[in-house]
A and B are shown apart, each in its own frame.
Chain A
Amino acid sequence: MYIPNESDETLIERCLAGDQAAFEGIVVRYQRGLFNVAIRLLGSYEDARDCTQTAFVKAYEHLHTYDVSQRFFSWIYRILRNECLNTLRARRPSEPVSLEWAAAGMPSDSLMAGERQRAVQTALLGLTADYREVIVLRHFTELSYDDIAATLGVPVKTVKSRLYSARQRLGELLAEWRVER
C-alpha cells in the first residue's frame, strides 16, 4: 500500500527497504507523463506501452543507483529514452507505424482536426531523435528549461538553440497545415 501524498523520496526509501508495493505509487505518479513522452518519441501505442513498462521495471531493479539529489523524472526518463532508442533501432525502416491513436477520441465532425493531429505526429517522427526529444520534453512535459538541460545533460543554452532549430524544422514539415489552419 502507498499513500498518494507520499513524496518520491519516501516511496523510494520504502522500496529500498524492501517494500515492493511502495513502487506502485511511483508508477501511478509517473505513468501518464512517461507514457506520453514515449508515445510521442515512438509514434506507436504498443511500443510506448512496452517501453514504459520496461522502464519502470528497470528503474525498480536499479533503484539503489538513483541519486536523490536529482529529479526522479530525469533519472527514469533516461532509462525510458534508452528503451525508446533500442526500439527505434530495432524497427525496420519499411515498417509503418500506425497513428490511429493520434486522433482517438476526436468527435466525428472533427475529421480535419484528426488529420491535422496525425500530421503533427508524423512530422514529429520526421525529426531527428535529438530534435524530437527536445520538442517532446518542452511541449509534453512540465519540465523547465533548466530541468530539460539537466535531464539531457546539456547546457540550457543548448536546449534553447536545439529547440529553436527543431521548431523551425517542424514548421517546414508542417508548412501545409500552417497554411490551411
Chain B
Amino acid sequence: MSEREHDEPLSHGAPDEVTLLLGELKEVDPPAGLAGTVMSRISSEAPARVRRLEPVHFRGGTVMAKKVLWSVMGAAAVVLIGLKLAGYPPPSEGTEGTIGAAQRYQSQQIADADVKVTDAELQKFMQSDVFHKLINDKAARRALANKDVQKALADPNVRLVLASDQVRFALADEQVRFALADEQVRFALVSDEARKALASEEARKLIASDAVRLALADDQVRFLLANDQARFLLTNDAVAAALAQGALVDLLAAPGLVDMLAAPGIADIMAAPGFTAALEAAAQ
C-alpha cells in the first residue's frame, strides 16, 4: 500500500471537506466538578501510593503486598516482551555466548550479511512503526541485547504466553507497568511465597485491575509464572528499565505485532547474532 508522506488536504488551496466537517465539531465542556471529583479521589485513593507494599493477609497466613499481585501480569509482560523482541524460535545453540560485549564494539549495522530479507513479511516488519520504535528506544535495545533475557526466552514454556490475548490486554494496563517498575515488587514477585499466594482465588479477587484479573484467569499465564526462567527474567534490571520506560509496552500493544513476529523470516532476523549486536552498537 502506498501512503503519502503528508496529510495535506486532497485538494490544494481551501481546506478539504473532511477538515471542514471535523472543524464543525465543537469543543465539549468537561463535566462540572470534574476537578473537584479528581481531588476528592486523590485524597481518598492516593495515600495508597505512600503506603506502597501495604501487607495483605491471606488465608493460611501468607502475607504479601497488594501491588505484588498487580505486578503478576507485569511478570508475564516481561517475558512476552523479551520473547517477541528476541524472536521465535530462540537463537540456535552457541549464539548465546556471542551476543553482548564480544560483538558490542564492532559497530555493526544491520546489513544484508546479518539480515536476510527474504520475504514480504520481513520487509514489512523492517519498515513498520514497531521496528522503528525498537531501533530508537534505548531501553528496548538493551533489553533485547541482554544475554539473560535471551536465555530465558529460549524456554519453550515461556513462549506459551504468546498465545494469550489476555496478556496483551494486560500490557496496556498502567497499573502493571507502574507496579513492575518497583524493584521491591519485582523481587517480591519471584518469591515462593508470592507464587503460592497467586494460586489462590482469594488473591485474584483482590486485584483491582480488570486487565490483570482477566490475565490471571488464564491458565497459560499461571503456568508461566511457575516457570523458573520466567522468574529469573523478572529480576533483570534491563528488562525492568525498559518496561518502566513504557515504550516496550507500546510496542507489544501495536496491532498485528504478534502476527508479524510469527512469520518465519522475521524470526530468523531477530535470532541472528548480528541483529542484537547491531542494536547494541546503535545504543552506544
Q: How large is the interface on B (under 10, 10 to 19, 20 to 34, 35 or more residues)?
A: 35 or more
Tell me if B28 and A101 are in contact (CB < 8 A). yes
- B14 contacts chain A at the CB level, 8 A cutoff: no
Identity of the chain A residue whose Cβ is nearest the Cβ of B22 in the assembled complex = A139
CA distance A159 to B188 in the complex (A): 40
CA distance A20 to B44 in the complex (A): 12
10 pairs, A vs B, C-beta closer than 8 Å = A31-B38, A61-B45, A82-B173, A117-B26, A120-B25, A139-B19, A153-B247, A154-B133, A161-B5, A162-B3
Nearest-neighbour CB distance to chain A for B116, whole angstroms, equals 25
Which residues of chain A are within 8 angstroms of B37 by Cβ–Cβ distance? 53
CA distance A49 to B18 in the complex (A): 27
Tell me if A164 and B4 are in contact (CB < 8 A). yes
> Considering residues B8, B18, B211, which has the most beta carbons from chain A within 10 angstroms of its beta carbon?
B18
- A24 contacts chain B at the CB level, 8 A cutoff: yes
B34-55 vs A, CB cutoff 8 Å, 1 = contact: the mask equals: 1101110111011011000000
CA distance A128 to B19 in the complex (A): 18
Tell me if A79 and B38 are in contact (CB < 8 A). no
Tell me if A35 and B34 are in contact (CB < 8 A). yes
Tell me if B173 and A121 are in contact (CB < 8 A). no
A117-160 vs B, CB cutoff 8 Å, 1 = contact: the mask equals: 10011000000111000010011100000000000011101101
Which residues of chain A are within 8 angstroms of B48 by Cβ–Cβ distance? 61
Identity of the chain A residue whose Cβ is nearest the Cβ of B49 in the assembled complex = A61
| Contacts A31-B35, A60-B42 known; 7 new A-B pairs at CB < 8 A | A20-B46, A28-B35, A35-B31, A120-B22, A154-B129, A171-B10, A174-B17
CA distance A135 to B17 in the complex (A): 14
Q: Which of A83, A153, A161 contacts B133 (CB 8 A)?
A: A153
Tell me if A177 and B41 are in contact (CB < 8 A). no
Nearest-neighbour CB distance to chain B for A91, whole angstroms, equals 12
From 80 to 104 in chain A, residues with beta carbon under 8 angstroms from any chain B beta carbon are 82-83, 85-86, 89-90, 101-102, 104
- B232 contacts chain A at the CB level, 8 A cutoff: no
B204-224 vs A, CB cutoff 8 Å, 1 = contact: the mask equals: 000000110000000000000
Q: Which of B17, B38, B169 contacts A53 (CB 8 A)?
A: B38
- A105 contacts chain B at the CB level, 8 A cutoff: yes
Query: What are the 4 closest A-B residue pairs judged by CB atoms, nearest first?
Result: A163-B7, A35-B30, A161-B3, A164-B7
Residues of A within 8 A of B (CB): 20-21, 23-24, 27-28, 31-32, 35-36, 39-40, 45, 49, 52-53, 56-58, 60-62, 65, 78-79, 82-83, 85-86, 89-90, 101-102, 104-105, 113, 116-117, 120-121, 128-130, 135, 138-140, 153-155, 157-158, 160-165, 167-168, 170-171, 174, 177-178, 181
CA distance A174 to B198 in the complex (A): 50
Tell me if A27 and B38 are in contact (CB < 8 A). yes
CA distance A39 to B37 in the complex (A): 18
Tell me if A24 and B35 are in contact (CB < 8 A). yes
Tell me if B24 and A113 are in contact (CB < 8 A). yes
Which residues of chain B are within 8 angstroms of A121 by Cβ–Cβ distance? 25
Nearest-neighbour CB distance to chain A for B240, whole angstroms, equals 13
CA distance A32 to B32 in the complex (A): 11
Identity of the chain A residue whose Cβ is nearest the Cβ of B44 in the assembled complex = A57
- B174 contacts chain A at the CB level, 8 A cutoff: yes
